[in-house]
Amino acid sequence: MAGAAAAAVAVLVLAAAHGALCGCWDHRRAAPAPSPSWDHRGTNSTAALEGCGCEPSPPPPWRFRNDKLRALYPVIQAFKQTITCDPLGVTATWTGTELCDSFFNNGSTTTYYRGFYCDYPPDAPGVLTVASIDFNGFGLCAPSLAGFIDAFPDLALFHANSNNFSGDVPDLTQLRYFYELDLSNNNFSGAFPEAVVPLGGLLFLDLRFNRYAGEVPAPVFALTVEALFLNNNGFGGRIPDTLGSTGAQYLVVANNQFTGPIPRSIYNASATLSEVLFLNNRLSGCLPYEIGLVEGLAVFDAGGNEITGPVPLSFGCLRDVEELNLAGNQLYGQVPDVVCLLARTGKLQNLSLSDNFFHSVGHHCMELVRSRVLDVRRNCILGFPDQRPPLECAAFYVDPSKHCPFIPHIPCELPGYTAHGHPHQGHGGGN
C-alpha cells in the first residue's frame, strides 16, 4: 500500500508540474502584473503553450491599446501617488488599462481615468493617445506638476481650475501640440513662471487667482495668445510697452498691484483687442488718447485706479464699446458728450464715471443719467445729488500736478455730432 500511495503522489506532482509549465492554472486566481503580454525573450507566451496538451490561457489582463498609452500608464500612476487630497474620489478611477475610456463613452459615462481625454495626434492618425487633461473643479492637492503634464508628448490642453496645485510650472516646450494652459484658482506663488514665456504656440493662458507676485516679463504680452488672464494675483511694477504687441482678444490684468500709466502702445493692438480689464490696480498718469483708437473694444474697464486727466474725445470713436468703466479714479473736466452719444449711435449700455472729479455733463449725458446708463455719483457736479464736498473739489482743482493736456481733435466721423469737434455746453459748473 505504501508503494501505491507513493506512486499516486508522484503522478499528482508530475501533473501539477506539467500544468504549471504549460500555463494550465486558473487565470482568475492569478495576480495580474503591470507588464506587457510579451516575455523577456520577445516571443509570444500564449503561442508557446500550443504544444502542451491543454487550452492556452486568456490574454494577460495588462494589455494596452498601443505603446503610447502603455508609456503613459506609469506617468499617471506616479502622479497619483503624489496626490494628498482628493475630495471627489477622482483618482480611484485611475486604474486599469483603459486610459481612453472617455473616448469610447463620449465622456458622459466615464468609468476609468476621469479627467483624461484621448484623440488621434496629427502625426499618427491611427494611434489613440491622451490629448487633453481637464481637472477643473476636482479639488486635487499635489506639491508639483513637474514630471506629469510635461510627460504627455501629444498633450494639447491642460485645464486645472480650482485645485490645490503648487510648485513650479514644468517646461512644456517639447509638447508640439500644446496651446491651452489653465492653472487658475490654485496655490502657485513666486515670480511669474518662466516656463510659460517660451511657449510661442500658446493660444490661451489663465493664471488668475493664484499668489504670483513681481513684474510680468515683457515677452508675455507678445505671446500669440487669444486670451490672457493674469488677474487676482500680486503682480506689480509697470505694464510693459509690449502690451501693444499682444494678439489677445481678451486681456485681464485686474486686481493686482500694477503701477504707472496704461501704455500708449495699446493702440497697436486695435486689430484684435476686444475686452481689456485694468481695474483695481494702482495705475496712474493721464488717460491715454490712444485708447480711443482701439476701435474694436467692446469692454474697457480701468476703474479703481489713480488715473487722472480729462476723458479724451477720441473715446467717442469706440462704436463697438458696450461697457466703459472709469469709476474710482481722478478724472476731471466735463464728461464728453461724444462718449454719451455712443448709447444712441453705438452699442454703449453701461457707462460708469462715479468717484471722480468731473464738474459738468453735456446734453446727451444728461439723458443717460436720467435713464441710469451713466453713473456720475461722487463727482463735483453742482446741483447733482450724491456729490463730493465742495471743499474737496476745490482742493483738487487748484493742484496743478493733477492736470493733463486736453486734445480737442476727434479722429473719426461721429454721426449726430455737429459741434465741429468740440463738446456742447455742459450742465453744472466747476468748483
Work out the average pLDDT over 105-116.
82
> pLDDT value at position 107?
59
Answer positive or negative: Cα dihedral of 309, 310, 315, 321.
positive
Q: Which of 197, 190, 195, 196 is nearest to 167 (CA)?
A: 190
Q: How far is CA 163 from CA 145, 183, 210, 299, in A?
A: 12, 9, 11, 29
pLDDT over 50 (residue 33): no
333: left (phi over 0), alpha (psi -120 to 50) or beta: left
Mean pLDDT of the chain: 85
Q: What are the DSSP E strand ranges found in 278-362?
A: 282-283, 299-301, 308-309, 323-325, 330-335, 350-352, 357-361
Q: Which fold has domain 69-187?
A: 3.80.10
Name which of 58-62, 214-218, 376-380 the model is least confident about. Answer: 58-62
First-last CA distance in the chain: 125
Work out the average pLDDT over 88-111.
88
Q: For the chain, percent helix, then strand, then coil, each to nearest 5? A: 25, 20, 60
**With bands split at pLDDT 50, 70 and 90, how would you rate the model's confidence at 115?**
very high
Domain residue ranges of the chain, discontinuous segments joined by +: 69-187
Interacting residues of 209 by C-beta distance below 8 A, sequence separation 6+: 184, 185, 186, 231, 232, 233
**Greatest Cα pair distance in the chain:** 128
Tell me the pLDDT tens digit for each residue of 195-247: 999 998 999 999 999 999 999 999 999 999 999 999 999 999 999 999 999 99
Q: How do strand 129-134 and strand 250-252 relate by DSSP bridges?
A: unpaired
Residue 350 half-sphere exposure, CB side, CA atoms within 13 Å? 10
Whole-number Å distance between alpha carbons of 365 and 45: 85
Q: Which amino acid is at 163?
A: N
> pLDDT value at position 191?
97
Whole-number Å distance between alpha carbons of 354 and 358: 9
Residues of the chain with pLDDT > 70: what percent? 81
Instruction: Please state the pTM of the whole predicted model.
Output: 0.81
> pLDDT value at position 43?
31
Residue 117: φ, ψ to 5°:
-130, 135
Whole-number Å distance between alpha carbons of 312 and 411: 11
Name which of 88-97, 102-111, 215-224 the model is least confident about. Answer: 102-111
Q: What are the DSSP E strand ranges found in 18-156?
A: 116-119, 129-134, 141-142
> pLDDT value at position 413?
84
What's the chain's length in residues?
Answer: 431
pLDDT over 90 (residue 28): no
Residue 424 half-sphere exposure, CB side, CA atoms within 13 Å? 17
pLDDT over 90 (residue 420): no
Q: Which cell goes with 67?
A: 505603446
Q: Which cell goes with 217?
A: 516679463
CB of 336 closer than 8 Å to CB of 315:
yes
**With bands split at pLDDT 50, 70 and 90, how would you rate the model's confidence at 422?**
very low
**76: helix, coil or strand?**
helix
DSSP category for residue 279 = -
Whole-number Å distance between alpha carbons of 376 and 357: 9
pLDDT over 60 (residue 390): yes
Q: How far is CA 193 from CA 11, 19, 214, in A?
A: 70, 59, 11
Count CB-CB contacts under 10 A for residue 125: 9
**17: helix, coil or strand?**
helix
> pLDDT value at position 414?
79
Q: If you count DSSP H runs as helices and E runs as strands, how many of each does the chain have, helices first?
A: 7, 22
Whole-number Å distance between alpha carbons of 84 and 139: 10
Work out the average pLDDT over 313-322.
96
pLDDT over 80 (residue 42): no
**With bands split at pLDDT 50, 70 and 90, how would you rate the model's confidence at 54?**
very low
pLDDT over 80 (residue 93): yes
Greater model confidence, 419 or 332: 332
Interacting residues of 137 by C-beta distance below 8 A, sequence separation 6+: 161, 162
Residues of the chain with pLDDT > 90: what percent? 74
Whole-number Å distance between alpha carbons of 17 and 19: 5
Name which of 139-153, 215-229, 245-259, 398-412 the model is least confident about. Answer: 398-412
pLDDT over 50 (residue 377): yes
pLDDT over 80 (residue 37): no
